[in-house]
């Protein structure tokens, strides 16, 4: 058993897992506050990545200006989607809302294809190019730095949740909407902010993933892997998103390396199936009690 | 103008056609369907067959999602099971198509029951994701189980045949697909006249209450899965006979979403809605193509934008119908009919 | 309600196809001979549009050119096409529509999926010869696909040409090692089994086989696997751009001096444009001379002239354009041979004419005379990216497989 190799593969997997955790965080934020399973998260990521392509590639802005702009664009997109398409669906059955997000995903794919064509794209380089070595273990620079950026943002989010007023408002709304209303929290605004911040996380992750693996209108398929992460972790658990993200990222990479690339998805879906059977609400999710 | 609707027997209450006008229009429809292939050109015939297959599959999904409330993202997978079953039978046995289609349906139903097993443990969106997982696994099996499914290259089929008569052309396939579609929609309509159908609806409305009333949840949920997958399997088998080739990429996730959209746009829990939705979703790309052809003289680049426009329109239709007309095309149709039947009164 | 939809649809369909036919046909010279129709399901939008747009340009320009030369044996040529967005059912629909309205003698199919799906109908129709964008290995099975041909080597033959080149770079008893990297799709897996057999026959060891899942993936784990085996060559297939760039950059960063090679659809300007300096040294197998290569020939020059004329601002024309043009060339040759032999333009006769092509001089499109084998043209050349010049340069002779 080549432990060096295993170590390197695991590192690569964990680095990817960090990005999954970031996307899952965005997803969980949206679910926690608004109870919406956002099937369009992969497409929001894609949109932000295309914006980055336009700013840094087309308009030739510095990547360090283009990135915040693109992330801002993605966040605004999230806010607009919430206001125009999710808000009217308040009170409808969950399947309808899910289908709306699926429709939104389709619209975003069409929009992106309309302006940028369906050609495969590479993002302009902005991450350092020298390989990273942790001891004797090699790590590809893009995912190493991607992981660092993602982790930094994640920590910021967690601090925000814990200590700021906005974070408290979000947590309050997530646990009991009626009580939050009666405490004077502007719940509508919280909904919108949840989408904005969720899309922010997703947008940043989208740019990083696209920088690693290329961009095309089919980018959104990464949403499937993220879905596995959030189900395994628990739809409304931030801790679950983090841990499941790292785990699924690691598992996917290890399965791909030792079994073959075609086993990446089935391996993670096996975990999904197992979780659905033994612990449907995820490792850290809250169990919903239904009353007649 | 019809005012009252008094029935005197339970039988009359459950009847499918309540007036002779209805029967007349329905007979007219059947006549049109019969005559259509003789008048239509190859292209319209092709569309007619496609719509027929879509109607069967949408009706099946409607039973599961619209009437029983179990969201399924695995419709394409079940169709694939049916398609591959038919393909395998066509290559390895000489079975005539009715037997092959029946077996395809049963095979898909069996897989459907398997996939439906988690439905007691998980509900709502979690179940949807379980069906998604099933879809991924099925796709994996189609692609990797080479000896049986031909792997990535798939399987090619002999045309459907019965007693030596082969159904080579679209014209002939039409006469398998459309009658079968009519039959299966009827069968579905009938299911909802029986207690099984009522049980499905009860489960959709409030399954805990249904259980209290004595409906065995697991049994009826599995039955719903089985029935819906049977429809999907038959549709998949017809798909296989029609295109004469099945590959893992013939039944992608996008197809599951297409059928879910058809159910929603048409009107969930409404068989007419299923038909309208299937026809509408199949014909929208064609209408768009005509529009593009009409615009091309003015905007030579129009075709390049057709594909993205199609995506946008597809998504916008789903979002639009869900926000503005959640009961779908069927509701619009009923409104039109109500308008005419109540005229000159408003309500 | 159904009835009104039907008749309206039929009227619209008729009007629409009339408009479509009128707007995309090349100018037809006033002849009293019946036009010969080139039909096409062309992916002007969708995932294959990057090539489809140029395929269409190649076919359109060739039609203009051949008409300026008096058509085929005096028959004017009409090119009728429809956009398919690279979706099989739309391709099939387009084929049925065009077959119904225009009776094409030859037809361009946009994907392997379409070619397979339509084969049953094509065989029973017997009126149309088909080729297209697919180089799938299966299509050279003349029993199943008697009226379909490939305008170049199929993917397995491309692998064969690549492997022959690799073998030629080795010394007796010390063959280079090779790794195959391909995508988990029908396209990607197509030539792999044959590739492994051919490698074994040449004494080349396939030290690793990497399958990547479609979509935007991180391939660093796969690169680590390749680092372990240190292959001399990596052959990519089933991709257009990503993740070839990541493999190349990362492996070079690790200090490996592996050479990278690819097949038809990943051997075009896109690689150079998007990768810049990093593309240097990448090699591809290409059956046609590149538009911007130093090669010349009467047909190649005519192609360049026509391309200039139709769009002077375009500059370089990608391999898709060459492929479209060459396709039409083969159609012309096949139709000419059939008509010259006094035979009717049926699929069977045209297929026989195609099979009779031996040592045919293509006027510079392909550098050596070509012979048809099993309804394909198993010929190609290895070209290498010169990043500074921004183009591909030949590094091998023309290899014609038997």
C44 touches chain A (CB under 8 A): no
**C186 with B249: Cβ contact below 8 A:** yes
Which residues contact residue B71 at a Cβ distance below 8 angstroms, ignoring those fewer than 6 apart? A95, A98, B65, B124, B125, B127, B128, B131, B260
Among A89, A109, A269, select the one facing B322 at the smallest CB separation: A89
Taking a C-beta distance cutoff of 8 angstroms, is the pair B236, B81 a contact? Answer: yes
Residues of B in contact with A292 (CB under 8 A): 206, 208-209, 212
Q: Which fold has domain C155-286+381-400?
A: Rossmann fold (3.40.50)
Among B130, B257, B307, select the one facing A102 at the smallest CB separation: B257
What is the pTM assigned to this prediction? 0.87
CA A109/CA A118 separation, integer angstroms: 9
Enumerate residues 7 to 46 of chain C having a beta carbon within 8 A of any beta carbon in chain B.
Answer: 9-10, 12-13, 15-17, 19-20, 22-24, 44-46
Taking a C-beta distance cutoff of 8 angstroms, is the pair C132, C117 a contact? Answer: no
B249 touches chain C (CB under 8 A): yes
Which other chains touch chain A, taking contact as 3+ CB pairs less than 8 Å apart?
B, C
Which residues contact residue B154 at a Cβ distance below 8 angstroms, ignoring those fewer than 6 apart? B87, B245, B246, B247, B248, B250, C116, C186
Q: Report the residue of chain B nearest C121, measured CA to CA.
A: B169
Which other chains touch chain B, taking contact as 3+ CB pairs less than 8 Å apart?
A, C
Residue C29, pLDDT score: 47
**B283 with C117: Cβ contact below 8 A:** no
Residue C6, pLDDT score: 39
CATH 3.40.50.2300 fits C2-152+296-371, yes or no: yes
Tokens, residue A225: 């892997």
**B133 with A269: Cβ contact below 8 A:** yes
Best of A256, A262, A263, A266 to disrupt the C interface (most C CBs within 10 Å) is A256
C246 touches chain A (CB under 8 A): yes
Residue A199, pLDDT score: 95
Q: Got the DSSP string for A206-218?
A: HHHHHHHH-B-GG
**C16 with B143: Cβ contact below 8 A:** no
C225 touches chain A (CB under 8 A): yes
Which positions of chain A have pLDDT values less than 50? none
Taking a C-beta distance cutoff of 8 angstroms, is the pair A67, A125 a contact? Answer: no
Best of C218, C245, C277 to disrupt the A interface (most A CBs within 10 Å) is C218
Asked, colleague to colleague, whether C2-152+296-371 and C155-286+381-400 share their fold, the answer is yes
Domains present along chain B, CATH in parentheses: 40-342 (1.10.3470)
For chain C, the domains span 2-152+296-371, 155-286+381-400
Among C45, C212, C215, select the one facing A218 at the smallest CB separation: C215
pLDDT in tens, chain B (347 residues): 556 677 788 777 777 777 788 888 889 999 999 999 898 887 888 889 999 999 999 999 999 999 998 889 999 999 999 999 999 998 888 888 999 999 999 999 999 999 988 877 787 788 888 899 999 999 999 988 888 888 877 888 878 888 878 887 888 889 999 999 999 999 999 999 899 999 999 998 888 899 999 999 989 999 999 999 999 999 999 999 998 888 888 898 889 999 998 998 898 888 999 999 999 999 988 888 788 778 877 877 777 777 788 889 889 988 998 899 888 899 999 889 888 887 787 76
Q: Where are the beta strands (DSSP E) in chain A?
A: 132-134, 137-139
For chain A, the domains span 19-219
CA C341/CA C361 separation, integer angstroms: 20
- Shortest distance between the Cα of A210 and any Cα of chain B, in A, equals 21
Please write the tens of the pLDDT for every residue from B128-181: 888 999 999 999 999 888 888 888 778 888 788 888 788 878 888 899 999 999
Best of A27, A39, A99, A263 to disrupt the B interface (most B CBs within 10 Å) is A99
- Shortest distance between the Cα of A176 and any Cα of chain C, in A, equals 38
C104 touches chain B (CB under 8 A): no
- Shortest distance between the Cα of C163 and any Cα of chain B, in A, equals 23
pLDDT in tens, chain C (402 residues): 444 333 343 433 333 344 444 444 444 444 468 899 999 999 988 788 888 989 999 999 999 999 999 999 999 999 999 888 888 878 888 898 898 888 899 999 998 888 988 888 898 889 999 999 999 998 888 888 999 999 999 999 999 999 999 999 887 778 899 999 999 888 889 999 999 999 999 989 999 999 998 777 788 889 999 998 999 999 999 998 889 999 999 999 888 999 999 999 999 888 998 898 999 999 999 999 999 888 889 999 999 999 999 888 888 899 999 999 999 999 999 999 999 999 999 999 999 999 999 999 999 999 899 999 989 999 999 999 999 988 999 999 999 987
Tokens, residue A256: 């791909």
Residue C27, pLDDT score: 44
Taking a C-beta distance cutoff of 8 angstroms, is the pair C379, C368 a contact? Answer: yes
């Amino acid at each position: 058993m080549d432990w060096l190799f295993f170590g390197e593969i695991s590192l690569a997997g964990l680095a990817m897992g960090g990005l999954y955790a970031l996307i899952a965080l965005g997803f969980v934020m949206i679910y926690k506050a608004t109870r919406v399973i956002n099937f369009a998260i992969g497409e929001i990521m894609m949109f932000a990545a295309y914006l980055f392509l336009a700013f840094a590639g087309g308009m030739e802005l510095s990547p360090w200006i283009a990135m915040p702009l693109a992330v801002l664009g993605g966040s605004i997109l999230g806010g607009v989607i919430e206001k125009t398409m999710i808000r009217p669906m308040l009170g409808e059955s969950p399947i309808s809302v899910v289908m709306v997000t699926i429709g939104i995903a389709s619209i975003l794919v069409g929009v992106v294809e309309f302006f940028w064509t369906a050609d495969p794209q590479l993002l302009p380089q902005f991450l350092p190019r020298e390989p990273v070595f942790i001891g004797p273990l090699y790590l590809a620079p893009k995912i190493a730095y991607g992981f660092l950026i993602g982790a930094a943002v994640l920590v910021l989010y967690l601090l925000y949740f814990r200590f700021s007023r906005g974070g408290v408002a979000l947590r309050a709304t997530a646990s009991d909407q009626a009580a939050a209303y009666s405490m004077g929290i502007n719940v509508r605004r919280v909904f919108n902010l949840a989408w904005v911040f969720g899309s922010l996380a997703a947008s940043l992750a989208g740019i990083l993933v696209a920088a690693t693996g290329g961009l095309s209108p089919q980018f959104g398929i990464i949403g499937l892997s993220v879905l596995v992460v959030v189900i395994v972790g628990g739809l409304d658990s931030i801790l679950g998103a983090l841990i499941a993200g790292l785990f699924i990222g690691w598992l996917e990479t290890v399965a791909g390396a030792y079994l073959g690339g075609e086993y990446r998805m089935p391996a993670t879906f096996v975990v999904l199936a197992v979780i659905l059977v033994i612990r449907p609400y995820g490792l850290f999710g809250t169990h919903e009690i239904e009353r007649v | 103008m019809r005012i009252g609707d008094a029935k005197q027997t339970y039988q009359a209450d459950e009847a499918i056609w309540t007036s002779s006008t209805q029967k007349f229009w329905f007979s007219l429809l059947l006549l049109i369907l019969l005559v259509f292939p003789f008048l239509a050109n190859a292209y319209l015939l092709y569309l007619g067959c496609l719509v027929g297959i879509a109607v069967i599959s949408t009706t099946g999904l409607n039973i599961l999602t619209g009437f029983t409330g179990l969201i399924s993202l695995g419709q394409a997978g079940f169709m694939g099971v049916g398609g591959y079953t038919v393909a395998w039978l066509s290559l390895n046995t000489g079975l005539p198509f009715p037997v092959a289609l029946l077996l395809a349906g049963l095979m898909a139903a069996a897989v459907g029951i398997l996939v439906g097993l988690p439905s007691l443990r998980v509900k709502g969106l979690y179940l949807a994701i379980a069906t998604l997982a099933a879809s991924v696994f099925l796709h994996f099996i189609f692609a990797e189980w080479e000896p049986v499914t031909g792997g990535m290259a798939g399987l090619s089929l002999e045309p459907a045949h019965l007693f030596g008569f082969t159904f080579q052309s679209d014209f002939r396939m039409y006469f398998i697909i459309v009658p079968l579609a009519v039959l299966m929609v009827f069968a579905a309509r009938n299911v909802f006249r029986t207690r099984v159908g009522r049980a499905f609806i009860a489960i959709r409305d409030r399954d805990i209450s249904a259980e209290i009333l004595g409906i065995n949840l697991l049994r009826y949920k599995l039955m719903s899965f089985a029935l819906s997958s049977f429809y999907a399997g038959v549709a998949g088998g017809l798909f296989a006979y029609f295109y004469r080739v099945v590959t893992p990429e013939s039944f992608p996730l996008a197809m599951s979403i297409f059928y879910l959209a058809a159910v929603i746009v048409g009107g969930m829990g409404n068989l007419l809605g299923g038909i309208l939705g299937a026809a509408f979703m199949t014909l929208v790309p064609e209408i768009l193509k005509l529009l593009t052809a009409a615009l091309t003289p003015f905007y030579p680049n129009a075709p390049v934008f057709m594909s993205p426009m199609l995506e946008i329109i597809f998504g916008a239709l789903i979002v639009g119908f869900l926000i503005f007309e959640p009961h779908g095309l069927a509701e619009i149709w009923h409104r039109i009919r109500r308008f005419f039947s109540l005229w000159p009164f408003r309500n | 309600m159904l009835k009104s939809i039907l008749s309206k649809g039929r009227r619209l369909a008729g009007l629409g196809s009339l408009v479509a036919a009128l707007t995309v046909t090349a100018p037809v010279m006033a002849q009293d001979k019946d036009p010969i129709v080139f039909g096409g399901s062309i992916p002007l939008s969708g995932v294959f549009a990057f090539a489809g747009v140029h395929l269409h340009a190649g076919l359109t320009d060739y039609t203009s050119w051949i008409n300026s030369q008096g058509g085929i044996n005096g028959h004017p040529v009409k090119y009728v096409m429809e956009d398919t967005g690279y979706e099989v059912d739309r391709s099939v629909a387009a084929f049925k529509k065009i077959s119904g309205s225009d009776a094409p003698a030859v037809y361009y199919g946009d994907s392997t999926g379409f070619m397979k799906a339509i084969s049953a109908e094509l065989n029973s129709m017997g009126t149309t010869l088909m080729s297209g964008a697919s180089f799938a290995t299966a299509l050279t099975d003349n029993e199943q696909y008697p009226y379909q041909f490939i305008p170049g080597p199929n993917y397995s033959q491309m692998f064969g040409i690549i492997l022959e080149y690799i073998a030629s770079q080795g010394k007796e008893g010390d063959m280079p090692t090779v790794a195959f990297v391909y995508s988990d799709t029908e396209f990607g897996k197509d030539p792999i089994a044959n590739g492994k057999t051919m490698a074994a026959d040449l004494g080349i060891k396939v030290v690793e086989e990497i399958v990547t899942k479609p979509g935007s993936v991180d391939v660093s784990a796969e690169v680590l696997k390749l680092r372990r085996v240190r292959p001399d060559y990596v052959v990519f297939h089933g991709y257009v751009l990503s993740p070839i760039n990541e493999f190349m950059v990362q492996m070079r960063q690790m200090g490996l001096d592996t050479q990278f090679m690819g097949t038809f659809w990943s051997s075009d300007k896109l690689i150079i444009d998007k990768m810049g300096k990093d593309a240097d040294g990448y090699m591809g197998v290409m059956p046609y001379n590149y538009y911007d290569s130093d090669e010349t020939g009467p047909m190649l020059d005519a192609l360049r002239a026509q391309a200039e004329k139709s769009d002077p601002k375009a500059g370089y024309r990608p391999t898709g354009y060459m492929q479209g043009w060459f396709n039409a060339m083969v159609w012309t040759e096949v139709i000419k041979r059939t008509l010259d032999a006094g035979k009717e333009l049926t699929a069977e006769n045209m297929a026989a004419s195609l099979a009779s092509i031996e040592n045919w001089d293509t006027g510079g499109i392909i550098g050596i005379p070509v012979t048809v084998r099993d309804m394909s043209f198993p010929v190609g050349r290895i070209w290498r990216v010169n990043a500074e010049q921004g183009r591909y340069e030949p590094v091998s002779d023309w290899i014609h497989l038997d």
